[in-house]
Each structure stands twice: as structure tokens, then as C-alpha cells.
Structure 1
Amino acid sequence: MTPNSLFYLLIAIIVIVFLIDSLLDILNARHYNNTIPEELEDVYPDDEYQKSIDYKKANFNFKLVSSTVSLVIMLLFFFLDGFALIDNLARSISNNSILVGLIFFGIIMIGSDIMSTPAAYYKIFVIEEKFGFNKTTVKTFFIDKIKSLIMMMIVGGGLLAIIIWFYELTGRTFWVYAWVLVSLFTLMMNMFYAKLIVPIFNKQTPLEPGELRDTIEAYSKKVGFQLKDVFVIDGSKRSTKANAYFSGIGNEKRITLYDTLIKDLSKEEIVAVLAHEVGHYKKRHVIFNLLLSVGLTGLTLWFLSLFIANPLLSEALGITVPSFHIGLIAFGILYSPISEVTGLIMNVVSRIFEYQADNYAKKTYDGEALINSLKKLSKNNLSNLTPHPAMVYIHYSHPTLLQRIKKLRE
């Protein structure tokens, strides 16, 4: 294969992935006005259902335009030798290969963030605002972006620097050391994410003593779930949408409830949601997902080690001096079809786990309370009740509301 043919292969992959995603979105949009299944007729009043359709259409149109603009910018960047320009700029600043790689990705990251900011701003302050979801202030929006950039530079830059150092030190076997590093980092994030990362963006407070806390503690004791604490996160700081999640492993496990969830749901419905989260822990889904993530990371790094030293990757992007950072860009695009397949597999596994957690909540607490909570959350989030089956199969990490209700009532 010549550098020129590889260049056009990269372009073809980018365009094909875009076309497939767009086709799925279009198919999904054609289902917006479908008749609501009988089991879901009580989710929306008529006026609210029309509002949910309008919300879905607004997001569909926005995504179609923004993704098309992103594709055009990316293609222009390829055809105008943008990677070569940034690589030359990075090499004019330093001769150290690790610093060159960090500068290269730093410029791309900051440039990408600047270009994506108008779209993100429109999504939050126009679409989300119009439909009553947005609680984010302009100040919080930009502070969040600055915090995210700083974190990416420190954490992402640190990991990248060590991986490049491994590559220069060990050659093609670098992937083993990089795998160990990334696996340890993934484990640490699973254990301490709620303590280290969440407080940077949100305030977490223990659930206040009262009837809800007493009921949660009684349920936890009944099912033998050693709960260190239940935390409430100030999700209303940014949105009216509600959620709950389980995090941590071992002695660091905790359940976090959004303050909007506590506001919107009854005590029984909240405990049913919590029972679902406990089900994930009891069924060892957290451990399985961690092992699966580590395994896929190892597979990706191994594939990377087979291609990274090939100068063809750099030459395809118009760069004569081969380097790890340029090879990583080209490999990332070449690997994207495989990552789509692995992502699909992970979504299939995730949907199975959701059914299992639902069933656990039904057996140990109250299936109808869980159904009521899912209906309320769908209504309050203006969720799509009639998605296209192809969209569900490829992109949904959770079964649809209808599928969950049918399974719970079996």
C-alpha cells in the first residue's frame, strides 16, 4: 500500500462512519411520531408528548448540522496537510520527542475544543433552555470547560508522556507496559472517581437523616449490601434531568442520587432505583465491566504495537519524519471500525446487565415501583419512547422503556 492509497482509505473510513451514524439518526427520526405502545400511554399527557417529539426533532436537526460541519472541517484539515503543519510547529518548539507529542496533541485538543464550543453553547443555552432543562449559567459553562481542559492536560498529558517513554525505551513491547499503566489508572478511577473527580465539578453531601435514609438503610441491611454512605449530588446546578449511579468497589463503593431524582420521585420509587443499582453490584457487573474494559484496552494497544512503527502511517498524513503521535492519529482512524464492533458488543452486554439489575430490584424490593420511576424519569427527560430497533441495537446501552417494563412484568 502506498501513502496516497492509505490517505484515501483513512478518508473513506471517516466518511463511511459518518454516513452510517447519519443513516441511523434519520431512521430513528422517522419513528418519532409512531403510536405510543399501550404500556406507555400513561407516560406523557398529549401536550407533553408533542413537546417530547419537538425536543427530539430539535436535537436531530442540531446533530445533523453540527456533525456535517465537523466532517467538513476534518476533511479540510486532512487535505490541507493540517497534521503536518502542527507537527512542524511542535518540532520548532522542542526536539524532545515526548514534548513534541504533548505539544502536538495539546494544540489539536485546544483547537478542537475552541471549534466545538459554539455547538456546545447552542445545545445548552438554546435547545436545553427552550425545553426547560438548562440550569447552567454562562459562568459555570466556561468554568467547566477550563477545568476539563486542565484535567485533560494533566491526566491525559501525563499518561501520554509515560506511554511515549515506554515506546522509546522498549520498542514494540511498549504495549504491555502501557496496558499495565492504563489498567491501574482505570482501576483507580473506578475506586476513587467519586472522591477525586466529581468534587471538582459538583458538590456531594451525605443524604440527610429521615424516612428516606432509614428506608434505604433498612433495604441495604435486608439484602446484605454494606453501604458506606448514600450521597446526594447537586445535579440541579446544571440541569433538571435526574439520575442515580453506583461507583467504586470494595470499601469505596457508594450510591449517588441526583437532587432532582429525590425531588421528582416518591420514597418507594427512589429505593427501587437504588435497588437496581445494588443489583449491578450484587450481580458483579461492576467487576465484569472493569475486566472487559481492561481486556479491550489490551487488545487495542496490541494492535497499535503492530502498526505504530510503520512509517507509512506518518507518510499518509504528509509527514516525512515518523513519530509515535502521528502514527497514533492514523491508527485511531484505522481502528475505528473495530472499535464500533467492540462498542456494539459492550452495549449488548450492558443491556443484559440492565435486565438483570431490574430483575434484582423486582425480587428484592418492588417491580412496579421501579416501573413507575422509569416512567417518571422518561417523562421528565422527554425520552424517546419509540426508537428505531437498529438505533437501539447499535447505540443503546440500556433497553428501551417498553422492553424493560415488559421484562419486569413477565
Structure 2
Amino acid sequence: MKVSFLVPFLASLAAGVPTPPRNDVVSYDGYKVLRINTHGHPSAIREELSGITYEQWNRDVYKHLDILVPPDQVATVEALDLEYQVMHENLGDSIAAESNPRSVWKREVGDLSWYDSYHDYQDHIQYFEDLQKSFPNNSELISSGTSYEGRNIHGLHLWGAGGPGKPAVLYHGNVHAREWITSPVVEYITLQLVTGYNHRDAQTRSFLDKYDFYIVPIVNPDGFAYSHTTDRLWRKNRQPPPENKNQSCFGRDINRNWEFAWDANPLGASTNPCSQSYKGEAPSDAPETQGLDKLVRQLRDGAGIKLYIDWHSYGQYILSPFGYKETLYAPELGKWTKVAGIVSETIRDSSDARTTFTFGPSGATLYPTTGAAPDHVYSIGRAEFSYTIELRDTGKFGFVLPPELIRPTAEEQWEGQKALLSLLDEEFFDGEGPA
């Protein structure tokens, strides 16, 4: 999820100015996360907050503004005449609780205790290797390239009867490092595909017999590892700053670095290396983007891409192209909107929490994004369906989602994916604009 309204606190802490040494762990003890009611007047609220250092977590601020407040600013914010709810009383405590294992995983593929806790990068690699071993005749481990720090961008390729070579379904998780919920959701969907096929579930078999699945749960491994060891709220990759910028800020936003529409809208990304949404010096100048794009083009030039999903958090959205312009509608928008509506309804009806997703074209529904993966994979990769899915929640916990919500989040997304995959070959109205 994008964060673009930045103040001195974010520039000095979350964006990394100066970048802390790798062993200098960023502490959020005493930091408070507040949801401030804006009542449709966000500019007035920002005026009230002027002079206060904070990080904004959300971008859709018409109803509320989610902010991370450092300890020395908490009393000042609370003294203002603002309506707010507390998301995290002490973010440091929430992060500590999030990191405590709730159960011991038995290293068995079918052991769902994996989804009771968050895990580090090496454990995720091991989990996917174990998944592949449980499906040896219909899968292979793949790589989508190498990160800046030399980590493998690991993934899994699945297929069904008749062998590989069918139209592709491509999933990306953990593009943004701090969005930890995305990788276990992608892994849970992978688990259900593998176990369902092995257990001869007719619906699951129909998916794998019709499509090849290319699943990359952590496309930003350096940032993900850094979010575990050093800064829980790190978002970008770990690429050093451009030499000509005289900056010490690390990282590019991989989801603003894709070639298509990279420079199409000044509101869609930042040219400041210290910004959370820094787009880089040139399209695809992040090695992660280069590797991911190579796979996209290979799939396009093979049997084609049927479906692409870029998984993020938070906000509960299902977003389709285009992101770079609020008033630009793809010819397929009617079809995409119908499908997204059915997926949203399926998720809601399958969830004890009645989890509700907002859906629509990305730029019009949420905010402008340039150089974003779904626009690129649709326009350059020629994907028939292309979505961003922003997972739970809508702001009670934000990026630091408690581990007890991993499994219900993953389960409802699998229900949504079953609905979506069943609709990919349906005939829909393809007129421009909303259906």
C-alpha cells in the first residue's frame, strides 16, 4: 500500500536518513498508531498536525488518517481536539507479540501450524522446497532472478494433466517488505492447489489441468529479510542510493519501478530516494524488477498470461488497471469489475468476520501509481486479468497484523481464488468503463 505524504519523521526513520547500520535495530517502543477521523476534510486535519512529526500509513484519507507517532510527539497529538481511535497503543509491544511463535511447525506440508506464526526468509524457502517435494511430478522450483544483495527470488511452478505449457497464472507476494501477511497467503493458496490435486479434488484438478501456476511468495527478499532483522516497517528493496543524488537513503519501491507508465504521472511515484515510493533512476533499474519482468515476458511469449495478482496489504481492495491515471479505463474493465465483485462477495460470505473488499480500477478507486506491476503485466505482458489485492485489514492493525489472523486471512483468500479461477474463461461484457 502506498505511503506518499511524508514528514520529517518518515524521512529520518522509515525511509532511512541516515541509513542505520545493519546491526542497528530500529525500535518502535513507545510509538503509537492512531486513526484520526477526517470527516471528509483531510486538509484541515493535516493543518492541525502541521509541525508534528509522524508517518502516514494510509493514502485514502477522505474518512480517516492513519499515523505513526513517535513517543515525544504522542502527548502533543493527543492534546489536539481530534477524534481518533488507537490502532496500536505501543507499536513496539505489537511487533514483539507478532514475532512470538504461537506453535511449533512440525516440518510437514499438511501441518497448518505454519500459518499460526510469521516466519523468516530462510524458513519460507524451506517451506516451498517441501511443497515441491510433495508434488514432484507436477512441479519445479523456479527463480525469478536475484536480488541486489544476491538472494534468490524463489518460486514454484505447478501444472496438471498433460504437462506444463498452458496459459499462466502468476502470483507475486511481499513486493513491499513490511506487508508480511502476503507471503503466507500466497503459500496457503499454493498448499491448497498441491494438496487438492494430490487428493483428487475435482475443482482443484480442473485449475491445474487448465493453467500453469507460477508462484513467487517473496519478490523482495532483501527488504523482507531486513524487515525481520532491522526495521519492521521497511518497505523498499535494499539497493544503495544513486551516486549522483548525494543521498544515503537505501531502496527503490519495486512497485513503482516497472517499465510501463514509469514516468506517466508525477503523482504516481517519487523521484526522491528517501521517499517510500521512490521509483528509481530509470525503469527497471532494480535487479528484482528486471528478473520479474524477464519471467513476465517469457510467459507472454509462451502460452500467455491468463491471470496476474500482486498481493499487498492493507486496506481490503481488489484493484485492476489502470493505476497511473484516474480517468483511464481499460477495454476489459467491465469484465474485471464483474469478476472482482463476485470474488469480493465470495470472500465476504466465506468469512466469519464478513470481510468486505472494495473493488475497481486502481487509479480511480485508490490513488495514482506509476510503474506498477499490474499495469505493466497487463499492457506489456498482455495478461487477460490483472489485479492488485490489498489484504486485511481496513485499519484496526494496519501493517502489523496479529499472527492469529494469518489463517483466516489465507482461508478467505483461497475461497476467493477458487471463485476467480472458475470465472477466467467465462464470457463477460468487455465495454469500456464500469460494467
Query: Which TM-score applies when normalising by structure 1?
Result: 0.29
Structure showing greater Rg:
1
* Greater helix fraction, Structure 1 or Structure 2: 1
Query: Which TM-score applies when normalising by structure 2?
Result: 0.27
Greater relative CO, 1 or 2 (CA 8 Å, sep 6+): 1
